[in-house]
Amino acid sequence: MTNNLLLRRAAVTAGAILVAAAEFATLRSAAGVDLAANSGNSTRQITVAAVVVAAAVAALAGWALLAVLERLTNRARVWWTSIAVTVLLLSLLAGPPGGVGGEAKATLALLHLSVGVVLILGLPRPRPEGLNR
């Protein structure tokens, strides 16, 4: 992996985390959204720390999977994008419905979508011109 690609992926990872934290802060302070989710038999408040950790875990896991696929196949970008979109859709089915109230559900969906889109568009290396992979 070249230094430019390493820096680019680190910047995308940081960007996904910053987007999630900024959205959380904006929706909490400007819109007054109280972000809480049902967890088993209890309800827990979702904090900015939880949002940052979740975004970081998603970004680093996606980056690691992409790095492994790049070593195993010439079609890493196609495979990774397919897997990443599937994981995003599954996260939308699992995470946001646990929100307490409509605002929390919508905010959780927005957070999942924002982080997912940043990672899906940003992590794979751009295709060299003239190559169709």
What number is the average pLDDT over the span 27-51? 88
pLDDT tens, 88-109?
999 999 989 999 999 999 999 9
Q: What pLDDT is attached to residue 133?
A: 45
pLDDT band at 9 (very low <50, low <70, confident <90, very high): very high
| pTM greater than 0.85 (yes/no) | yes
What number is the average pLDDT over the span 78-83? 96
Write out the DSSP string of the chain: --HHHHHHHHHHHHHHHHHHHHHHHHHHHTS----EEEETTEEEEPPHHHHHHHHHHHHHHHHHHHHHHHHH-TTHHHHHHHHHHHHHHHHHHHSGGGBSSHHHHHHHHHHHHHHHHHHHHHSSPPPPTT---
For residues 104 and 132, the model is more confident at 104
